[in-house]
Chain A
């Protein structure tokens, strides 16, 4: 039974994407159906993770072609990421049903495209085939392009800007995809297989024989460009602040919460499994670029008055901390990076969902025109404060534990200067998030005569449920991080010793 879950996690959303196209006019049914499907996906992914944790890696061979065909591999890293993405997409879906405009979004393309986006994400995290990874990247990108143009009630971005943002996103994505295709073609020409475990074995043999071709190093660096682009690493971060704020809030939460983590996943998967011999070259590059990313993101966020744009730059800064953990490269730092990834995904998507409601509540997206909303919406003030505390790294939120382990592991591994720089910009984070929170929620109400208007634009119960569940998760991982830490340590152990992964994939017989 567990054997089939990996393919179901990809096939079920695609199937329901088709179904929801036909049910366009049946809005009530759509709502119930999609909530059920996303809850089902979350339960399935959780069952898969627990199964993998206890019984080892699950491999599903599509079409039973063995290592020559497409395979789906659920190891701890992949299934863990799927659980995270299922949880966040379930919350975004529950939230989006009340948030998105009915005529232009919910009745047309929101449900099908959201399903396809989730299928793309699950596919990326589960696939064991390099070319299949590229296909799922395209699925994800095309679906998210379609979702960015949709409008919601707190979304004050004109269509003109959205079109421009998508044009940039698509052109740059196409370029990164071409770089990825070139790298895949060169790798295929070198080792003659696309199966990641198989490539890993063959490159290890070449390396042991001392005949590793020099262009393998170039290929590893090209993959850094591709995944660095996806994760918004420093020289490739400029698109994020244009594209993400143009999206409506639930999509913004998905893009900043999950989609940029795809780049981190790619670096962890490809570089630890396929290119362990090139890590001596890639680690310092990631480390230096991550520090610049942290600095550039934090410095840009301080100067922003557009709430969504400020949080988008904050995402750039925060992804730098994850890359910092990856770049420092010891077992403990990688564990810390994974914990940071999970906590940032939860807190950031909660913050973005709360932001969407706040912008609707305020009727504008300029921070300077807001103020005193704690009186008209104490619920949003609480959620926003919890999100800010988690991102800034204050106890008892999850972000505190995450920042703590990143710095602690960095000091233990002897990276004093990088940790000092990261700590400095963590103070920047504290400053810009709390300045924003105080401007929006504290002080006098800016337009007291419109108070009843503000109160009328308050979150619906369904939106409150989604935000409250995310808040519970953020606090849970803050006060009881042991299970997450145990899982992250186990994942790191698998990353540093990929032999179980290789055995699980290549152990099967070809018919």
Chain B
């Protein structure tokens, strides 16, 4: 149920981002890039198990009771780690997607700040934020 909502949100964000990067204003392009990269981050996040019962820290006690769904692939029954069939109980949330999302967020932060500095320089040099007027290199 929540997955549907999440999917629609991601799709909407992709749409908004694509619309924004097709504008002519440099700042709108940078913001569109940010929205796009965050929708990609949400997509990564949604690809793992988020409905698990506990954090993925396996202590001795838990290890005795677990079936270890996350770390075992059961290809014969169609179980591939993040996708678990209906009715299978999930013990842990997927730790991988959180690590991936964090990495992607940090990288997009660095790229976005670099892009903002660049757009400031472009504005200073050309006195405009309209990309159709920033065309010295002629494509």
Contacts and interface: CB of A to CB of B under 8 A. Distances in A.
B92 to A, nearest CB: 13
B122 interface: yes
A202 B111 contact: no
Give the secondary structure class of B's interface: helix
Interface string A457-484: 0000000000000000000000000000
Given A175-B21, A211-B78, A131 B43 contact: no
B118 A170 contact: yes
Interface residues of A, number: 43
A218 B19 CA distance: 22
Contacts of B118: 163, 166-167, 170
A181 B36 CA distance: 11
A161 B103 contact: no
Contacts, number: 109
Contacts of B83: 189-190, 192
A82 interface: no
Interface in B57-113: 71, 73, 75, 78, 80-83, 96-97, 100, 103-104, 107-108, 110-111
B134 interface: yes
A142 interface: yes
Nearest to A173: B111
Contacts of B126: 160
A114 B36 CA distance: 30
B7 to A, nearest CB: 11
B29 to A, nearest CB: 6
Nearest to A191: B80
A134 B43 CA distance: 16
Contacts of A161: 136-137
A175 B73 contact: no
B33 A164 contact: no
Given A171-B29, A192-B80, A211-B78, A238 B139 contact: yes
A145 interface: yes
A184 interface: yes
Contact of A171 (B33, B46, B100): B33
Interface of A: 68, 131, 134-135, 138, 142, 145, 159-161, 163-168, 170-171, 174-175, 177-178, 181-182, 184-186, 188-194, 202, 205-206, 209, 211, 238, 241-242, 246
> Which 3 A/B pairs are nearest by Cβ-Cβ distance?
A192-B81, A189-B47, A181-B40
